[in-house]
């Protein structure tokens, strides 16, 4: 376990913390509480970088800003950057065309957090105190995210305390590539999700829930490869409704690399999961881990969350946190050789 300087943002030092597990190592940045690197030993002894990322700080500012961050205060999209609370309309920055996404221009994923190590638990704890009005959100919110590496399994505990009713919907935004590079369409995916939330042309949910039967979002049962689900390369950027009758201790998502033999198993307590196959990423000019060039389909995101635009869909589960309830989310991700 170690913490070292990694960069600087607006006069604030950005640090990197590293955890070592069984056949796995994890690096976390204080910038955005982002996972910078997650290396896992495959069955053949090779060490595979399983998430997209960079070896220096500058690309995180000039390139793709969502790599592996904690997105919030409210992840995903809020229609027209507004919602009603306590009889008043709250306005948020429209940073995704006419809509709001991932907490605004400088959401939690673009802030510098404070990092502490807990050697006895093999954990890193990050905290951020978001003041009232930051990015338009009402009330003060004190966030903590704890990364604990137990063998090959990463446990992520996300918490918040608030001083008034305010929306919170965090999403851990890893871009996975279990082969360490190349096209992820050969990855095999299984999801415990029989429904999804249809969207309009700007990716705002219509408020309906529809069956995945016959769609490119159907990964039930034994699952299938991303390529088999989407032969026309239309891509996926959609919220899946996780089955409420599933075993809560069983994986909601299982992802297996095409070449490495590595398998990801994800357990979550959230009602939804955003599937994004990075089909709109475009070619990024700076090289990532191992000198790999990133472009369309270089990664796949599996983001546990509450449903997008829940603030404007009162029939969906609420994302309002209160001083009494606070906010909590628990996520476990195990990446290891399939077996």
Catalytic residue list: 173, 303
The token pair at 305 is: 């969350």
Are the C-beta atoms of residues 46 and 151 closer than 8 Å to each other? Answer: no
Q: Is 100 labelled as part of a ligand binding site?
A: no
The token pair at 114 is: 């404070």
Cis peptide before 73, with omega less than 30 degrees from 0?
Answer: yes
Q: Is 175 labelled as part of a ligand binding site?
A: yes
Q: Is 217 labelled as part of a ligand binding site?
A: no
Q: Is 76 labelled as part of a ligand binding site?
A: yes
Q: Which of 233, 303, 240, 258 is nearest to 67 (CA)?
A: 303
User: How many residues are listed for the chain in this entry?
Assistant: 339
Which letter does DSSP use for residue 147 in this model?
E
Q: Which of 332, 233, 220 is nearest to 278 (CA)?
A: 233
Q: Is 77 labelled as part of a ligand binding site?
A: yes
Give the whole-angstrom CA distance, residue 10 versus residue 303: 29
| Residue spans of alpha helices (H) in the chain | 58-62, 226-229
Which residue in this structure is represented by tokens 């191992």?
Answer: 290
Residue 308 Cα to chain centre, angstroms: 13
Helix (H, G, I), strand (E, B) or coil at 260: coil
Give the count of alpha carbons within 13 A of 23, CB side only: 16
φ, ψ at 45 (rounded to 5°): 95, -15
Give the whole-angstrom CA distance, residue 273 versus residue 190: 12
φ, ψ at 110 (rounded to 5°): -120, 20
Q: Is 289 labelled as part of a ligand binding site?
A: no
Q: Which residues are annotated as a binding site for beta-D-galactose?
A: 76-77, 173-175, 237
Q: Which residues are annotated as a binding site?
A: 76-77, 173-175, 237
């Amino acid at each position: 376990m170690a913490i070292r300087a990694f960069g600087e943002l607006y006069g604030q030092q950005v640090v990197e913390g590293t955890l070592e597990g069984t056949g796995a190592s994890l690096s976390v940045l204080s910038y955005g509480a982002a996972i910078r690197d997650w290396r896992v030993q495959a069955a053949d002894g090779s060490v595979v970088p399983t998430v997209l990322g960079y070896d220096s700080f500058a690309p995180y500012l000039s390139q793709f800003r969502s790599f592996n961050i904690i997105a919030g205060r409210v992840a995903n999209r809020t229609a027209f950057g507004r919602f009603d609370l306590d009889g008043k309309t709250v306005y948020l920055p429209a940073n995704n065309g006419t809509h709001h996404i991932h907490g605004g221009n400088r959401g939690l994923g673009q802030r510098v957090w404070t990092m502490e190590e807990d050697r006895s638990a093999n954990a890193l704890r990050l905290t951020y105190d978001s003041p009232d009005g930051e990015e338009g959100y009402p009330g003060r919110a004190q966030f903590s995210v704890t990364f604990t590496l137990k063998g090959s399994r990463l446990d992520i505990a996300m918490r918040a305390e608030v001083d008034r009713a305010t929306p919170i919907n965090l999403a851990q935004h890893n871009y996975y590539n279990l082969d360490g590079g190349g096209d992820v369409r050969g990855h095999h995916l299984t999801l415990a999700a029989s429904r999804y939330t249809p969207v309009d042309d700007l990716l705002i949910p219509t408020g309906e829930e529809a069956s995945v039967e016959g769609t490119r979002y159907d990964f039930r049962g034994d699952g299938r490869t991303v390529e088999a689900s989407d032969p026309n390369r239309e891509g996926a950027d959609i919220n899946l409704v996780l089955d409420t009758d599933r075993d809560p201790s069983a994986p909601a998502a299982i992802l297996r690399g095409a070449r490495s033999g590595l398998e990801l198993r994800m357990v979550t307590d959230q009602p939804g999961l955003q599937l994004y196959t990075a089909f709109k990423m475009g070619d990024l000019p700076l090289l990532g881990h191992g000198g790999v060039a990133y472009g369309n389909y270089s990664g796949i995101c599996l983001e546990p969350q509450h449903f997008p635009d829940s603030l404007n869909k009162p029939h969906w589960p609420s994302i309002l946190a209160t001083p009494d309830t606070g906010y909590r989310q628990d996520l476990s991700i195990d990446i290891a050789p399939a077996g």
